[in-house]
Amino acid sequence: MSGSLKRSGASDLQGATRLVVDAVAGLTDVVEELHRNISGLAPIVGPSREGGTRGIPRLVYGSVRGVTRAVGLGLDAALSRLTPLLCPTDSSPRREAVLAALNGVIGDYLAETGSALAIPLELRAAGRLLTPETSTGDRLLLMVHGLCMGDLQWSRNGHDHGAALGLELGFKPVYVNYNTGLHISTNGHALSAALERLTGEWPVPVRELVVVAHSMGGLVARSALHAASLAGASWPRLLTKVVFLGTPHHGAALERAGNWVVILGSISPYSAPIARLGRIRSSGIRDLRHGNLRDEDWQRPDRDHTHDPRAPLPLPAGPSYFAVAASKASAKGRRTGDGLVSVPSALGRHGDPLRSLSIPAERTAVFQGLDHFALLDDPGVFERLRGWLGADGAHGAPEGSVVG
């Protein structure tokens, strides 16, 4: 529960300036490559040749890069001097949504370049960093959001699963806010370390920890459990239940198709323009191709990931696990998935028994007629969460697993 860096309008602008400068320089590289290819320096069929243009075009493109970097350095230096003189301002939900979308698409780049726009992993409550003054209760409910989203976006159409469950079941909601463009395993290590600090510094002994995770957040939670086992962390001993909402345990088909313009347009009005920069896919997005959880899943030589690189990783013993899938009805009435994640992937089922998560059927639910993001505010989903996380919730739902 250490302090976080205070952000200001100037620091945001400074980060944006660096991003624009690098983007213009990158765009210049793309234009030069097109110029070179059109000029006949590359074959009609096959990859582009390495190297730049020649003669006058080479001087022009070099000048563009030089001017761009000089302007950027000047603005960056000026903003660095102004930042300490400006009062920090509280973040607005709109600004948080923009940053979340940007981090989802190019968050790995932002982190690598030290941009002020990169989101650090934090544990928060009511949109603010947890402090000893706001740390109450001995039953914690950890909420882990999905790709291109942030902790404030658990609130949808006036409903927040975490706040509502906390009010009705007596949990203290704790929200994770993290850079979804980083590798899932990178966030897993960071989340495990944060939970170890949290449970160790909590004002009273923590009696219970439960997790509700949406989409990519479920993979980050599983990765954190794996990281905890490697580090010998103690916080998993407090974990009693984990609920996955639309988590792509075995990958998302749309990542394999590269169709993220559609996906990001569904998340937020701020996401689609960012996605239109091109076929940009951050490390986090690429991990969704198969559902990578460990460092070694993405460190293999096969950079294209044409096959599933993962070794089977079962759910750790101890907690009770639950899974919710959504299904948009097809023309033939088949359960096709929620538009982003298939029903089998969300339920952890796989044709290879070693890869199947083996979550009992009575601890799963498929909601008909919902899409991926309706899982965040659907009344039926909330009722199922309340039942599972209640005193007798580990016994599952006897009425069946298909709803709607």
Return d(Cα 28, Cα 53) in angstroms, integer. 12
41-50, 91-100, 254-263: least confident range: 41-50
Domain of 298: which CATH number? 3.40.50.1820
Is pLDDT at 325 greater than 70 in this prediction?
yes
Q: Is residue 325 part of a domain?
A: yes
Determine the Cα–Cα distance for residues 281 and 285; give it in Å rounded to an integer.
6
Q: Is the pLDDT confidence value at 342 over 70?
A: yes
Q: Is residue 36 part of a domain?
A: yes
Instruction: Indicate the pTM of the whole model.
Output: 0.76
With 50 as the cut, is the pLDDT of residue 224 above it? yes
Separation CA 316–CA 224 (nearest Å): 11
Residues 75 and 126 in one domain: no
pLDDT in tens, 41-77: 433 333 444 555 455 445 544 544 454 455 455 544 5
DSSP 3-state of 130: coil
Considering the domain architecture, whether residues 272 and 389 belong to the same structural domain is answered as: yes
CA triplet 263, 268, 271: central angle to 5 degrees? 70
pLDDT in tens, 271-285: 544 444 445 578 898
The rounded mean pLDDT for the chain is 76
Q: Are 245 and 372 in contact (CB under 8 A)?
A: no
Distance CA 274, CA 107 (A): 12
Question: Residue 358: what are its φ and ψ, rounded to 5°?
Answer: 55, 45
- Residue 81: which pLDDT band, with cuts at 50, 70 and 90? very low
Confidence of residue 10 (pLDDT cuts 50, 70, 90): low
Q: How much of the chain exceeds pLDDT 90, in percent?
A: 43
Answer whether 325's CB lies under 8 Å from 333's CB.
Answer: no
Q: Is residue 280 domain-shared with residue 397, that is, in the same domain?
A: yes
pLDDT band at 374 (very low <50, low <70, confident <90, very high): very high
Does 98 score more than 90 pLDDT? no
Q: Give 285-317 pLDDT, tens digit per residue.
A: 888 888 889 998 888 755 544 566 778 899 999
Task: Give start and end residues of each alpha helix (H) in 157-205.
Answer: 161-169, 184-201
Structure tokens that stand for 154 in this block: 């658990």
Q: In what order do the strands lie in the sheet with 208-214?
A: 128-129, 122-125, 172-177, 139-144, 208-214, 239-245, 320-327, 364-368, 402-403
Task: Determine what percent of the chain is predicted with pLDDT higher than 70.
Answer: 63
Whether 270 and 312 share a structural domain: yes
- Of 36, 68, 89, the last residue of a domain is 89
Q: Does residue 219 share a domain with residue 140?
A: yes
What does the block give as tokens for 219?
Answer: 């993979």
Q: Could you give the C-alpha distances from 133 to 130, 137, 163, 336, in angstroms and in order?
A: 8, 12, 18, 46
247 within some domain = yes
Single out the residue of 170, 186, 176 nearest to residue 213, CA to CA: 176
Which residue, of 42, 69, 89, is where some domain finishes? 89
My answer on whether 24 and 158 are in the same domain is no
Of the candidates 199, 241, 244, the residue with the CA atom closest to the CA atom of residue 390: 241
Report the alpha-carbon angle 380-381-384, nearest 5.
Answer: 90
User: CA of 398: how far to CAs of 52, 54, 305, in Å?
Assistant: 66, 72, 40
* Calpha distance 298→183 (Å, rounded): 8
Question: Rounded to the nearest 5°, which phi and psi values hold at 254?
Answer: -70, -25
Residues 214 and 128 in one domain: yes
Query: Residue 89 in contact with residue 139, Cβ under 8 Å?
Result: no
How many CB atoms sit inside 10 A of residue 5's CB? 10
End-to-end CA distance of the chain: 41
Q: Which amino acid is at 380?
A: G
Paired strand residues for 366: 325, 402
Q: Are residues 202 and 296 in the same domain?
A: yes
Mean pLDDT of 177-201: 96
42 is in which domain, residue-wise?
9-89
What is the tally of structural domains in the chain?
Answer: 2
pLDDT digits 0-9 by tens, 150-178:
999 999 999 999 999 999 999 999 999 99
What is the band of 357 on the pLDDT scale with cuts at 50, 70, 90?
A: very high
Q: Are residues 169 and 280 in the same domain?
A: yes
- Amino acid (one-letter) located at 151: D
355 domain-assigned: yes
Q: How many CB atoms lie within 10 A of CB 157?
A: 9
pLDDT reading at 86 higher than 50: no
User: Is residue 317 domain-resident?
Assistant: yes
Structure-token pair, residue 104: 């989802």
Are 155 and 24 in a shared domain? no
Question: Is 28 part of a structural domain of the chain?
Answer: yes
Which residue has better confidence, 323 or 84?
323
Burial class of residue 223 (count of CB atoms within 10 Å of its CB; 0-12, 13-18, 19+) = buried
Within a domain: 216 = yes
Mean predicted confidence (pLDDT) in 171-186: 96
